[in-house]
């Protein structure tokens, strides 16, 4: 690795991935500098991060918090900006080497596009970017000779398993899933679960949105779509396997029948660090995996009839066009509705399915089509929730 310190832009520095990325930078300050930090509306945490790391830029999306952030950082040489457009403009800064995109949901799309066009390598933690516009993103990355380095533990596992291999020799990708907090449960049980039940993930510490997605298996569905674009495979080459221990993070089966896997304790800091140091590996003090602690690693098929979101994601991927964009937008509104206690757990799948049937399908979408589809789907899903009979809202 070169001795030069690598400037990192962290989009979403106050979220789960963002704070863990700053842990990695804190432990390796001789290798990395936090050059740009952004937050949606968590001004307090952004301020404390900026005071510690003294980035070149700190951006708060919520403009009403701008004054608070600016005043708190006035004594430091930090440029404080506000609004989504400021992020899109700043990620192109010539001194930034890697843009780590950890913003939640669709919001990460335009900043990622801007960064790719500016020739920045992308450490991708925002899976929705590839779900929504995988064709555009991968074409742009190729055109601008930019690397997309996956931060998701599953895609990082596949990426690591493919080092030294040719993508054309892939027969199948096997993405592992913990099964979430409701593994093995039936529809009767799921009809009555609360947001508190769904937010208790057995193995991983994550943000609220991704934790709900994990409970509904939509997270796995989005990962299947993302894998198609990252590794240039078709839907029928991607298999999901439930592996409750979360030790094997994913596997690659090659056309000669050989399988490679990446294993380790569930800790997001490892895939984050690998994305920042690739193609190198650096020493860590992370806890090590021991086979004697895990004498039984188990595997089972996902229940796609009970957890319909995974099945809907496969359908969207096979249909292509703007359909993955539709399920992503519908899911974001559905998850927000569930977290706000407006709808029950199972209603999330119904909302997504309704949007898939009702929103205008575009076979070969442009970026403008994706933006319009996203907006149209969100409005439709919100209206759908508002019109639900009160009994559908009880859970």
CATH domain 320-394 topology: Rna Polymerase Sigma Factor; Chain: A (1.10.1740)
Annotated binding site for 1-deoxy-D-xylulose 5-phosphate: 127, 153-154, 178, 201, 214, 219-220, 223
pLDDT given at position 390: 61
Q: What is the pLDDT of residues 358-390, one digit of tens each?
A: 999 999 999 999 999 999 999 999 999 999 986
Per the prediction, the chain carries an average pLDDT of: 95
pLDDT given at position 3: 65
In angstroms, rounded to a whole number, what is the distance separating the alpha carbons of residues 226 and 157?
14
**What pTM does this model have?**
0.94
Annotated binding site for NADPH: 14-17, 42, 126, 128, 207
Annotated binding site for Mn(2+): 152, 154, 223
Fold agreement (6-150, 320-394): no
pLDDT given at position 190: 97
Annotated binding site: 14-17, 42, 126-128, 152-154, 178, 201, 207, 214, 219-220, 223
Q: What is the pLDDT of residues 152-183, one digit of tens each?
A: 999 999 999 999 999 999 999 999 999 999 99
Average pLDDT for consecutive 10-residue bins of the chain (395 residues)?
Answer: 84 96 98 98 98 98 98 98 98 98 90 98 94 96 98 97 96 96 96 94 79 95 97 97 97 98 96 97 96 97 98 98 98 97 97 98 97 97 91 47
CATH domain 6-150 topology: Rossmann fold (3.40.50)
Tell me the domain boundaries of the chain.
6-150, 153-224+232-302, 320-394
């Amino acid at each position: 690795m070169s001795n030069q310190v690598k400037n990192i832009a962290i989009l979403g520095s106050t979220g789960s991935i963002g704070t863990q990325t700053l842990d990695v930078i804190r432990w390796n300050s001789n290798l990395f500098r936090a050059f740009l930090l952004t937050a949606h509306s968590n001004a307090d945490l952004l301020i404390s991060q900026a005071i510690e790391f003294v980035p070149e830029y700190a951006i708060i999306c919520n403009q009403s918090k701008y004054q608070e952030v600016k005043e708190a950082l006035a004594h430091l040489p930090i440029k404080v900006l506000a609004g989504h457009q400021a992020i899109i403009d700043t990620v192109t800064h010539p001194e930034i080497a890697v843009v780590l995109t950890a913003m939640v949901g669709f919001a990460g799309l335009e900043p990622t596009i801007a960064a790719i066009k500016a020739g920045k390598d992308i450490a991708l933690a925002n899976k929705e970017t590839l779900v929504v516009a995988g064709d555009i993103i991968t074409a742009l990355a190729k055109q601008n000779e930019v690397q997309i380095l996956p931060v998701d533990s599953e895609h990082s596992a596949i990426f690591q398993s493919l080092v030294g291999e040719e993508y054309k020799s892939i027969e199948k990708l096997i993405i592992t899933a913990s099964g979430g907090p409701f593994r093995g449960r039936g529809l009767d049980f799921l009809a009555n679960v609360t947001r508190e039940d769904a937010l208790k993930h057995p193995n991983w510490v994550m943000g609220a949105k991704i934790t709900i997605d994990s409970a509904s298996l939509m997270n796995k569905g989005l990962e299947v779509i993302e894998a198609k674009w990252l590794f240039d495979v078709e839907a029928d080459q991607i298999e999901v396997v439930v592996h409750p221990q979360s030790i094997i993070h994913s596997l690659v089966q090659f056309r000669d029948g050989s399988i490679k896997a990446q294993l380790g304790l569930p800790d997001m800091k490892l895939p984050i660090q690998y994305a920042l140091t690739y193609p190198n590996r650096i020493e860590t003090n992370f806890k090590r995996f021991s086979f004697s602690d895990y004498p039984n690693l188990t595997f089972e098929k996902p229940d796609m009839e009970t957890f319909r979101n995974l099945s809907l994601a496969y359908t969207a991927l096979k249909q292509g066009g703007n359909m993955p964009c539709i399920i992503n937008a519908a899911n974001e509104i559905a998850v927000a509705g569930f977290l706000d206690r407006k709808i029950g757990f199972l209603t999330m799948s119904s909302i997504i399915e309704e949007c898939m049937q009702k929103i205008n399908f575009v076979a070969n979408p442009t970026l403008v089509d994706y933006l319009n589809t996203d907006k149209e789907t969100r409005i439709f899903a919100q209206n759908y929730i508002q019109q639900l009979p009160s009994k559908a809202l009880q859970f």
